Amino acid sequence: MGLFAGFFTYFILSTRRMELLRRPFFIGMFVLVAVTLTANILFFGYLSFMEWVSQWGTGYYSPSSTRIGTTPFPLPIIIPAILLGKAHFIVQDSVWQTTFPTSLATFFLFMVPYVITLLIFERAFCGWLCPFGGLPEAMSVVKKGKWRLSFLVKNPSTPVGFSLTGLTGLKGWVEWVRYGILIGVIILSFAVPFAIVNIITPALWLKSLPVFWISTGIVVVLAIALPFLTNRRWWCYSVCPVGTTLGLLHKISLFRIKIDKNKCNACMDCVQECRYFAMTPQGVERGGAMSGNCIRCGRCIEACPEEAIDIAWLGKYKNVRAPFVTMIIATAFAWYLWFVALLVSYSTKIGLFQGL
């Protein structure tokens, strides 16, 4: 895995086709998670898997006792435990034995790997690391969307005679809707005895059939249908509370898109190619993506004929695309290696699969 990460990092840095290589890598992580979940269910059998789901504690922590148990799936709250050395893999059973937070302070300790990752990469998380972002990404591979949903985006302001086919930013009310969703999720996290950090785990949706069908419906509409019809990741722009939160950090982001104004000829190719409502004519004029929607996908870097765009430290100093790509790929392997380990373990136990 280390050799693969090294070679992939080399290839992505030896060419300006950063987006071309990022996309299959990103989609591949979603496929890895989906395949692992499917293998989980088939290995333990549906009834046994559902028994585990029903018994899984959904609170943030367990103050009554020191809980040590096993889990067959790398849940969002388990991977930090693995990284912190609080869990280990039992090869013969293909499960993790882990401790569960016994206090709110311990829970916050478990979240430290998330906090570090999100603070360093900000919304690049949405373009390189998110376990579910690969689904709408895969659905938006069509060259041109059939629906423009122009009522959601601002009217373009461009030089006379220039036809802008790219994005010009979301309208203000769309921004407020996603902030409202974020506030609602925060309130919900205090109002219900459920660790919201685990809500992105489809395995735990099965604890409640209404929750499962509602969540499935949202995924079908926002992560499959709309991306396919519009060539845009609408879940990530307008709904996802994680993306909204990270977008608020863009002014303190370490790695930012910077335009060298000495090279830029204002052709607006980067604006036309940007799929994430991040690069606008106003941003080009000011020297970079001004929106918190920028996921550092590298599409604008590929599109620029003058090679005027790159990733810079704090958006001002030396170009740091190589350190950025190296760090984020290494982080991806640190977070997703455990899914690979589980699949490798399953591959040695094919004859023990229970099926449905």
What is the tens place of the pLDDT at every residue in 8-42? 888 888 877 888 889 899 999 999 999 998 998 88
**Helix residue spans in the chain (DSSP H):** 2-13, 18-44, 46-55, 78-83, 104-110, 112-121, 124-128, 134-139, 172-191, 202-205, 209-218, 226-230, 234-238, 241-247, 269-273, 281-286, 299-303, 321-347
Burial 292-324 (b: 16+ CB within 10 A, else e): bbbbbbbbbbbbbeeebbbbbeebeeeebbeeb
User: Per-residue pLDDT for 248 more than 90?
Assistant: no
Whether 275 contacts 232, CB under 8 Å: yes
DSSP letter for 90, please. E
Distance of alpha carbon 289 from alpha carbon 286, whole angstroms: 8
Q: Spell out the residues 6+ positions from residue 166 whose beta carbon is closer than 8 angstroms to its own.
A: 268, 271, 272, 273, 274, 279
Average pLDDT of the residues of the chain: 81
Q: Which residue has the higher pLDDT, 145 or 91?
A: 91
Distance of alpha carbon 95 from alpha carbon 159, whole angstroms: 60
pLDDT at 31: 93
* Lowest-confidence pick of 92-106, 183-197, 290-304, 308-322: 183-197
pLDDT at 163: 41
* Lowest-confidence pick of 133-147, 159-173, 293-307: 159-173
Q: Spell out the residues 6+ positions from residue 259 whose beta carbon is closer than 8 angstroms to its own.
A: 270, 283, 284, 287, 288, 308, 309
Structure tokens at 24: 């299959």
Give SS3 for 257: strand
Distance of alpha carbon 203 from alpha carbon 161, whole angstroms: 52
Question: Nearest to residue 188, comparing CAs of 180, 107, 105?
Answer: 180
Sign of the alpha-carbon dihedral angle for 161, 167, 173, 175: negative
Distance of alpha carbon 101 from alpha carbon 107, whole angstroms: 5
Tens digits of residue pLDDT in 65-111: 667 788 888 877 778 888 888 888 888 888 888 887 888 888 888 88
DSSP labels for 134-166? HHHHHHT-SSS-S---GGGBPPP---TT----S
Structure tokens at 311: 């990733």
Whether 218 contacts 55, CB under 8 Å: no
The domain limits of the chain are 2-100+335-350
pLDDT at 128: 93
Question: Nearest to residue 277, comparing CAs of 324, 252, 244?
Answer: 244
User: Per-residue pLDDT for 144 more than 70?
Assistant: no
Any idea which residue has 């704090």 for tokens? 314
User: Per-residue pLDDT for 241 more than 70?
Assistant: yes
Tens digits of residue pLDDT in 104-140: 888 888 888 889 999 999 999 999 999 888 999 988 8
pLDDT at 65: 65
Q: Strands 68-71 and 255-259, how do they pair?
A: unpaired
Distance of alpha carbon 185 from alpha carbon 183, whole angstroms: 5
Any idea which residue has 């990103």 for tokens? 26
Residue 68 parent element (H or E): strand 68-71
